[in-house]
């Protein structure tokens, strides 16, 4: 059903986007379908083959972005150069080339020690969390960028930043800066700015995203308080992306700096010969910031999903721990990246976590078509949003019974068959989000692989995630569900118990903290 102005908006089933689009595709008996969303053409892809055909094989014309007036307009946030939302352009190509150069498989290995150091500190904090009979919120604090998910869940609750394992690692990766604590101004500002830009992109939050002409109304008009908000956010954003950049720049100039992506880029002048110093500074500061923002939320969400999988599937946890013990010995040492090649079951377990509960079940940030195209009889116009990124549906692809037998079952062994493709966990094509797994063209995937392997292997090596019991002593199997529509979909809180595997494992954790 299509209505004037609203188009197909009310044809979408209620509930979480990824489930709604899967249901709509089944109702229409089609894996690719078109929607008119208040005048914005949208194509939804529910099959991996369609996503491959368009976003990989035709990536040259499907790598654009649709802008947001609240974010892009110079009178509002003036953040059109935010690296995570750039349109397909020379600037986008330069930024991607920079990331690819310094997050290649060889380049990221210099950060192995960084990852391992951060995980040691995480394990120590989880010892304290294990004393909590309801550890879900506490463990999420350690994994995530902030305690409360942004206004997407509860509009009147302000997110409380917590210095997390992923936040600390990605800040060091980007800037070579050691965050002091969760009150570090670099950290607080970075969290707040990221929260603001993601809120600013939502049409329901700011009407100017639906009616861009509102950007030109005077600030003094009644009801224009949102414009004053935009000015405040713009000034804060400018400080947020500049301050840590200038710190790293000064460290590099002094010769006293920790290796990081930004320090490497600052010393690489060959890539930027055609840019003025001011242009180069503006581009590099945006790139460093997106490395922090993009690398934290997705990896942290995957870690919470891992915990859920272990609680629901204790036999998988036991098998992975047996493999780890056979390589490391029982509570003898912590895993390192050098152990990955010897732990095939842990590797496929991680892939199954990403398939079973995709981090971005609607695929990430929307792609847009750069020019008119035709696919399977569909006329796809320039500017059409392609949703295997916000609506093209990695959840549906991960449930494809022709690819994954018994898709609702958590079964890592399915990936021991090399003919079984990895699930499209974080997106497709040249526009994949900053940290992604096993998508061949996506920047950041190698750092993400290190991050998830070292963290998950260390958690399995030292802790046990178990089910709660009811008053009769029966185990309670939690129901794992997505909580809210967002770019990365969090899961609803569930009950479980967290304990060190033994006293010997507790001592191993403490010894590594003291040695570090």
- pLDDT, one tens digit per residue, over 48-57 is 777 778 877 8
pLDDT of 155 strictly over 50: no
pLDDT of 271 strictly over 80: no
Name the least confident of 49-58, 262-271, 475-484.
49-58
Block residue for tokens 């990246």: 337
| CA–CA dist 498, 310 (Å, integer) | 11
Query: Is 159 in contact with 177 (CB distance < 8 Å)?
Result: no
Query: Is 166 in contact with 143 (CB distance < 8 Å)?
Result: yes
What the chain holds in terms of domains, given with CATH numbers, is 61-360+433-515 (1.10.630.10)
pLDDT of 432 strictly over 70: no
**What mean pLDDT do residues 158-173 have?**
61
Query: Is 239 in contact with 233 (CB distance < 8 Å)?
Result: no
pLDDT of 151 strictly over 50: no
Please report the pLDDT score of residue 425 as a whole number: 59
Please report the pLDDT score of residue 516 as a whole number: 59
Query: Is 129 in contact with 138 (CB distance < 8 Å)?
Result: yes
CA-based torsion, 300, 302, 304, 307: positive or negative: negative
* Angle made by CA atoms 163, 165, 170, in degrees to the nearest 5: 90
- Give the model confidence (pLDDT) of 297-352 as tens digits: 677 788 999 999 999 999 999 999 999 999 999 999 999 999 999 999 999 999 99
| CA–CA dist 445, 18 (Å, integer) | 23
| CA–CA dist 423, 440 (Å, integer) | 12
Annotated binding site for heme: 442
pTM reported for the whole predicted model: 0.73
Please report the pLDDT score of residue 114 as a whole number: 75
Which tokens sit at 216? 């030109």
**What mean pLDDT do residues 203-211 have?**
79
Instruction: Tell me how far CA of residue 109 lies from CA of 177, 182, 259, 432, in angstroms.
Output: 18, 27, 12, 21
Query: Is 8 in contact with 37 (CB distance < 8 Å)?
Result: yes
DSSP class of residue 52? Answer: I
Annotated binding site: 442
Question: Among the ranges 28-42, 61-75, 242-256, which has the highest mean pLDDT value?
Answer: 242-256
Block residue for tokens 């979480």: 16
């Amino acid at each position: 059903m299509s209505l004037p102005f609203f188009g197909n908006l009310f044809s979408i089933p209620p509930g979480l986007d990824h489930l709604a689009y899967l249901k709509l595709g089944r109702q229409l008996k089609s894996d690719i379908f078109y929607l008119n969303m208040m005048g914005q053409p949208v194509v939804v892809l529910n099959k991996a083959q369609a996503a491959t055909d368009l976003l990989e094989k035709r990536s040259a014309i499907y790598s654009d972005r649709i802008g947001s007036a609240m974010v892009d307009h110079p009178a509002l946030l003036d953040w059109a150069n935010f690296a995570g939302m750039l349109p397909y352009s020379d600037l986008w190509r330069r930024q991607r080339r920079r990331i690819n150069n310094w997050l290649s498989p060889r380049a990221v290995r210099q950060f192995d020690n960084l990852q391992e150091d951060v995980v040691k500190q995480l394990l120590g904090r989880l010892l304290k969390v294990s004393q909590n009979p309801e550890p879900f919120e506490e463990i999420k604090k350690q994994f995530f960028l902030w305690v409360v998910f942004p206004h997407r869940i509860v509009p009147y609750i302000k997110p409380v930043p917590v210095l997390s394992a992923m936040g600390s690692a990605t800040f060091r990766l980007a800037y070579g800066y050691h965050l002091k604590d969760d009150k570090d101004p670099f950290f607080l500002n970075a969290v707040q700015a990221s929260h603001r830009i993601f809120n600013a992109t939502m049409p329901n939050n700011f009407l100017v995203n639906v009616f861009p002409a509102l950007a030109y109304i005077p600030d003094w008009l009644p009801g224009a308080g949102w414009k004053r908000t935009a000015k405040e956010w713009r000034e804060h954003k400018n400080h947020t992306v500049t301050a840590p950049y200038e710190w790293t720049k000064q460290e590099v100039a002094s010769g006293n700096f920790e290796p990081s992506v930004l320090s490497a880029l600052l010393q690489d002048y060959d890539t930027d010969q055609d840019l003025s110093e001011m242009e180069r500074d503006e581009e590099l500061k945006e790139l460093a910031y997106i490395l922090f923002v993009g690398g934290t939320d997705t990896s942290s969400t995957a870690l919470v999903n891992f915990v859920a999988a272990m609680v629901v599937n204790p036999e998988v946890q036991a098998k992975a721990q047996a493999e780890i013990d056979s390589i490391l010995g029982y509570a003898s040492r912590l895993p390192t990246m050098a152990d990955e090649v010897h732990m095939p079951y842990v590797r496929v377990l991680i892939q199954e976590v990403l398939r079973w509960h995709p981090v971005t079940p609607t695929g990430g940030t929307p792609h847009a078509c750069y020019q008119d195209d035709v696919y399977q009889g569909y006329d796809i116009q320039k500017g059409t949003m392609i949703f295997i990124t916000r609506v093209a549906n990695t959840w549906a692809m991960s449930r494809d019974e022709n690819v994954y037998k018994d898709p609702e079952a958590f079964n890592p062994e399915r990936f021991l068959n090399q003919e079984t493709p990895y699930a499209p966990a974080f997106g497709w094509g040249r526009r994949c989000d900053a940290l992604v797994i096993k998508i061949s063209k996506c920047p950041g995937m190698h750092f993400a692989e290190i991050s998830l392997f070292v963290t998950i292997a260390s958690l399995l090596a030292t802790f046990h995630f178990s089910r709660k019991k009811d008053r009769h002593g029966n185990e309670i199997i939690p129901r794992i569900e997505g909580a809210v529509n967002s770019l990365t979909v969090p899961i609803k809180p569930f009950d479980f118990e967290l304990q060190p595997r033994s006293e010997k494992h507790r001592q191993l954790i403490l010894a590594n903290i003291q040695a570090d």
